[in-house]
């Protein structure tokens, strides 16, 4: 069985390794926060963007878009 001091030394060594990994991350801190928010609340961004994109697409190409979307998802066209 390991002694407590040996266990703490191993734990500190692992913490130092993890700290080095965190310091070399590419993402800035604001992007980490946005990413964490999107993991919990993806539909708060995805659905409005999809509706906006569909609306713009529909305004540009007209009723043909409706037929394409219905055909894509197995609706009646």
Tell which wins on pLDDT, 7 or 75.
7
Taking the C-alpha atoms of residue 60 and residue 32, their distance in angstroms, rounded to an integer, is: 36
Domain ranges of the chain: 41-77
What integer pLDDT is reported at residue 76 of this predicted model?
66
Average pLDDT, the chain: 87
The whole-model pTM stands at 0.49
Both structure tokens of 75: 């609706």
pLDDT digits (tens, 9 = 90+) for 45-69: 899 999 999 999 999 999 898 888 8
> Given this model, what pLDDT does residue 29 score?
80
Q: How confident is the model at residue 1 (pLDDT cuts 50, 70, 90)?
A: low
């Amino acid at each position: 069985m390991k002694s407590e001091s040996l266990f703490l030394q191993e734990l500190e060594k692992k913490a130092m390794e993890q700290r080095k990994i965190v310091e070399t991350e590419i993402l800035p801190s604001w992007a980490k926060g946005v990413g964490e928010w999107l993991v919990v609340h993806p539909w708060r961004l995805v659905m409005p963007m999809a509706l906006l994109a569909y609306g713009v697409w529909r305004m540009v190409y007209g009723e043909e878009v409706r037929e394409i979307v219905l055909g894509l998802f197995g609706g009646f066209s």
